[in-house]
Amino acid sequence: MPTEKGAGWSEVVRLALTEDIGSGDVTSRACIPESQKAAGRFMARERFVVAGLEVLREIYDLRGGVDELTLLRRDGDRVGENDTLASVRGKARTLLECERVALNFLQRLSGVATRAREFADAVAGTGCRVLDTRKTTPGLRALEKKAAAAGGITNHRMGLFDAILIKNNHIAAAGGVRAAFERARGAGLPIEIETRTRDELRQALDAGATHVLLDNLTPAEAAEWIRETAGRARIELSGGITLENVRAYAETGADFVSSGAITHSARAVDISFRLELL
């Protein structure tokens, strides 16, 4: 998965800076001498799991005007109110023009990491792993999946290109479970297939499926279907899985549970930027 600096998310950082700064920060230019230096601190204003700190390097590398950036925490760290996450020194104008973009990324990504940690903690000891999904903010998938992993869950496929997931519409278009599965074999990629009925589950197992997705079942239904597989395939559960019920699903014997809520419903956490003149 492309999560290193410059791989998959440099352009989105550039676009975010362009969107906010445009032709220039007219307020800072009007109020602050170009030569003025300052120091800034990113401060947590609540408890959360931090993520996105490496994006700060990308932001300041793209804008220039920064003498020193110190990351005081690492992605995945739990932080408390008033903890300092990072400090930066350089031109006051640069620090101010980058402030909102930096906070937007940190607050959003730390929110994803925090929600991911809540899901991971909820299933602790069950042997079941939590997966994220493709229900991400357009353009931010690499960063949001990196944040989710920092929170302690497992990344599912990055996109449509790195693994095969045969869902109900693929099955309908291919002419059935067996037909879809057989055609996918030659792709040389991992194959997972969704089954909506007990009959489809049996067809998938008989065709040789080793990774099956069961969607929109209750925990009791899921446990019954999983017993029927008798260990012939790894099982993922999805559909309606929330923080409140994820442990019940994890205790069914499933290998994985997936939830789009980790990314699409994560709340941005509260982080502030405090500036001091030098």
pLDDT value for 186: 85
Catalytic residue, from 215, 221, 251, 270: name it: 215
DSSP letter assigned to residue 23: T
Which pTM was predicted? Answer: 0.93
* pLDDT tens digits, one per residue of 92-151: 999 999 999 999 999 999 999 999 999 999 999 999 999 999 999 999 999 999 999 999
Query: Among residues 37, 135, 196, 232, which one is catalytic?
Result: 135
How confident is the model at residue 193, as a pLDDT? 96
The proportion of the chain whose per-residue pLDDT surpasses 70, expressed as a percent, equals: 97
Please tell me the distance from the alpha carbon of residue 240 to that of residue 227, in angstroms, as a whole number: 21
Per the annotation, the verdict on 91 as an active-site residue is no
Predicted local distance difference test score (pLDDT) of residue 266: 96
pLDDT score at 273: 98
Q: Is residue 145 annotated as a catalytic residue, yes or no? A: no
- C-alpha 48/C-alpha 164 separation (Å) is 34
pLDDT in tens, 155-177: 999 999 999 999 999 999 999 99
Residue ranges of domains in the chain, CATH in brackets: 10-114+267-277 (3.90.1170.20), 120-264 (3.20.20.70)
Per-residue b or e along 214-231, where b marks 16 or more CB atoms closer than 10 Å to that residue's CB: bbebebeebbebbeebee
Which stretches in the chain have pLDDT values below 50? 1-6
pLDDT given for residue 5 in this prediction: 44
Select which of 100, 134, 196, 232 is catalytic. 100
215 classed as catalytic = yes
- Per annotation, catalytic residue among 99, 144, 194, 200: 194
